[in-house]
Amino acid sequence: MLEVEVLGVGVPAGRSAAATDPRTASELPLEEVRRLCARAAASAGVSDGHVAIEFVDARRISELNARYRGRAEPTDVLSFPVDGTAPVQATRELGDVIICAEHTADVREAIVHGMLHLLDMDHETDGGEMLERQRALLARERS
């Protein structure tokens, strides 16, 4: 089973809210965050493991972006893989996805995008496969 831990600003502790604005983390039901993570993981053949999704403000994501990518500016999403491609039989710590809702056009897209990075996909080097998978996952979610 995929365990999804949701942390951070704007996320209601232990309760769901109606999704009205895809940019607002506080309006995104926790079960939807978990479902998006599980679908992205399943698309890469991963059904077990742990991931943390954290919603942060612009100041915090700027600090992380500067520290880990050398870019002292806010961004929409950062991914920090932990176990990478651990053997299937091992419980995988997939890693952390850090999202700044105020700098993303769609929180759902940021969740899927971050998860695909944790699953060893990279849109900067893969010839479009990651972004195509992202589009397909989001289209299926919206239908």
Q: What is the pLDDT of residue 124?
A: 79
Give the separation between CA 84 and CA 104, rounded to whole angstroms. 25
For the chain, list the strands marked E by DSSP: 2-8, 49-55, 77-81, 93-99
Per-residue pLDDT of the chain (143 residues; tens, 9 = 90+): 899 999 985 544 433 333 334 445 556 888 999 999 999 999 999 989 999 999 999 999 999 999 999 999 999 999 999 865 555 555 678 999 999 999 999 999 999 999 999 998 888 788 889 999 999 999 988 86
Q: What is the pLDDT of residue 10?
A: 53
Identify the structural domains of the chain with CATH numbers, from first to last: 2-142 (3.40.390.30)
User: 96: helix, coil or strand?
Assistant: strand
**Prediction pTM value:** 0.83
Give the separation between CA 66 and CA 34, rounded to whole angstroms. 28
